[in-house]
Amino acid sequence: MSKIELDKTDRKILEILQTDGRLSNQDVAERVNLSPSPCLRRIKRLEEAGVIRQYVALVDPDKIGLGLLAYVNVRLEKHSEVAGSRAPGLPATSPRNDFAVSVGSWPEVVACYAMTGEMDFLLRVHVGDMDHFSRFMMNTLLRHPAVLDVKSSFALQRIKETTALPLV
């Protein structure tokens, strides 16, 4: 995790790149009152330290036919064992782990967290419409052997949505 010291200029650079990830180094330099080379050195340092994890383009879901955003709470079976082939002494494939691996392969699921509380997992799911959603539920999520039950809610309105973290 290696915390790293960030001074005021570093934070300003992060703030800028969190909003405009394609700004040229020159432009960033100008906005933080630095010349290009020290600015680039700082950005490189932030990238290497993993503070900047990635640069990405954000795509509008509505524009590519993914108009429905759902959050799905999932509860898994407790303590169930995988039927059949399990060598004694070897670590069992737990339902939890199984589920986590499956989630990685479902494109509709863009985020999944193990959570505190009564529900084990929270999934963020992008689909085209209710039809698509129910297909995903019936054919994929509810068919997974580790899943005990689910509770879904749908986004009616996006009040706020940003990838930019507050820079304390």
Partner DNA sequence: CGTGAAACATTAGCGGC
Partner DNA sequence: GCCGCTAATGTTTCACG
- Binding positions for DNA, rule: CB under 7 A: 9, 24-27, 34-38, 40-42
Q: Residues 97, 103, 104, CA angle at the centre, nearest 5°?
A: 100
Q: In this complex, which beta carbon is closest to its own copies, that of residue 86 or of residue 149?
A: 149
Region for 166 from its dihedrals, namely left if φ exceeds 0, alpha if ψ lies in -120 to 50, beta otherwise: beta
Query: Closest distance between DNA and the C-beta of residue 53, in Å?
Result: 17
- Per the CB < 8 A criterion, the answer to whether 130 and 67 are in contact is no
Query: Closest distance between its own copies and the C-beta of residue 130, in Å?
Result: 11
115 lines the binding site for its own copies (CB under 8 A):
yes
x/- site string to its own copies, residues 88 to 107, per CB under 8 A?
A: ------------x--xx--x
Query: Closest distance between DNA and the C-beta of residue 1, in Å?
Result: 20
The entry of DNA, its own copies, none that residue 41 binds, CB within 5 to 8 Å by partner kind? DNA
- Per the CB < 8 A criterion, the answer to whether 112 and 124 are in contact is yes
- 116/104 Cα distance (integer angstroms): 21
Query: Closest distance between its own copies and the C-beta of residue 46, in Å?
Result: 9
- 125/118 Cα distance (integer angstroms): 20
Please identify which residue in 8, 78, 79, 158 interacts with its own copies, judged by CB under 8 A. 158
108 lines the binding site for its own copies (CB under 8 A):
yes
**Cα-atom radius of gyration of the chain, to the nearest Å?**
21
Please identify which residue in 33, 56, 89, 91 interacts with its own copies, judged by CB under 8 A. 56
- Per the CB < 8 A criterion, the answer to whether 28 and 43 are in contact is yes
Query: Closest distance between its own copies and the C-beta of residue 85, in Å?
Result: 25
Q: Which amino acid is at 148?
A: L
